Structure 1
Amino acid sequence: MTRMRLIFLATLAVAIAAAGWAARGWFEDAQRLSAERATREAIDAAMERESEIAAQVEAALADLEANERIIDRGIIREIEKPVYRRMCLEPDAIRLLNHAAAGTVPEPADPDDALPDDAAQAD
């Protein structure tokens, strides 16, 4: 008899624990659902408010007339590239270009750059 009573009490305790577990799950689900509904209502209210504002702006824009004249002028842009500056050329190349523009013959900077005698008479 005591053994039967013990089994009954253990079964009752397990049933109470399971019922408590299920009730806690239902409670948490109800909280999540109410939070989700509140969020959805806030979003819907904001969208309705913004739709009304957008409708007012569209109505105001429809009443406006175009009173601006657009003058399209061609714009010429000169792109500055490093080729046009002295960044790419070495100082010796600039010196040679200056002598070529002046029509003079440059003197070699150091003797290693001098041309051999037979190369100068190739004409």
Structure 2
Amino acid sequence: MTKARLAAFAIMLAGTLASGWAARGWYEDSHRLTAERTAQQAIDAAMARESTIAAGVESRLAELQASERVIDRGIIREIEKPLYRNVCLGDDAIRLLNDAAAGRAPDSAEPAAALPDRAAKPD
């Protein structure tokens, strides 16, 4: 009987160790899964927050680009009018308008010489 008891005790001990090992593995796996889920939730929240910010930036950028195009077209239309090209503007004003149409910053906002008191009369 002692051999049978010893064998039963060894089997019970091996079963206890195996079930304890399995339970410990499940416990550690549950902690890892909880940590992974928490990290994924934090990543998802950050991505959602950043996507709303990016959407706002994109819409504002689209508004700015749309208004920029309208302004550019308006300047080109005004410069191309024969009245402005041929009659009313002097050399300095034409130079400033050409610089603005080309997108260059003028050397100075002031004309090089003072304008005369009398303006040129249109044809």
Q: TM-score range by the shorter chain?
A: 0.5 to 0.7
State the shift of 1:36 in Å.
0.4
Normalised by the length of structure 1, the TM-score is 0.54
Distance (Å, rounded) in 2 between the aligned partners of 1:54 and 1:16? 56
Cα RMSD of the aligned pairs, angstroms, is 1.8
Tell me the equivalent position of 1:6.
6
Tell me the equivalent position of 1:54.
54
Query: For the pair shown, which has the larger CA radius of gyration, 1 or 2?
Result: 1
**Structure 1 outlier segments of 4+, above 4 Å:** none
State the shift of 1:40 in Å.
0.5
**Which ranges in structure 1 are unaligned for 5 or more consecutive residues?**
73-123
State the shift of 1:61 in Å.
1.4
Number of equivalent positions: 72
Distance (Å, rounded) in 1 between the aligned partners of 2:30 and 2:7? 35
**Which ranges in structure 2 are unaligned for 5 or more consecutive residues?**
73-99, 106-123
Distance (Å, rounded) in 2 between the aligned partners of 1:39 and 1:2? 55
Amino acid at match of 1:23: A
State the shift of 1:14 in Å.
0.8
Summarize the alignment of residues 53-72 of structure 1 with structure 2, pairs less than 5 Å apart. Answer: 53-64=53-64, 65-66=67-68, 70-71=103-104
State the shift of 1:29 in Å.
0.7
Distance (Å, rounded) in 1 between the aligned partners of 2:58 and 2:4? 80
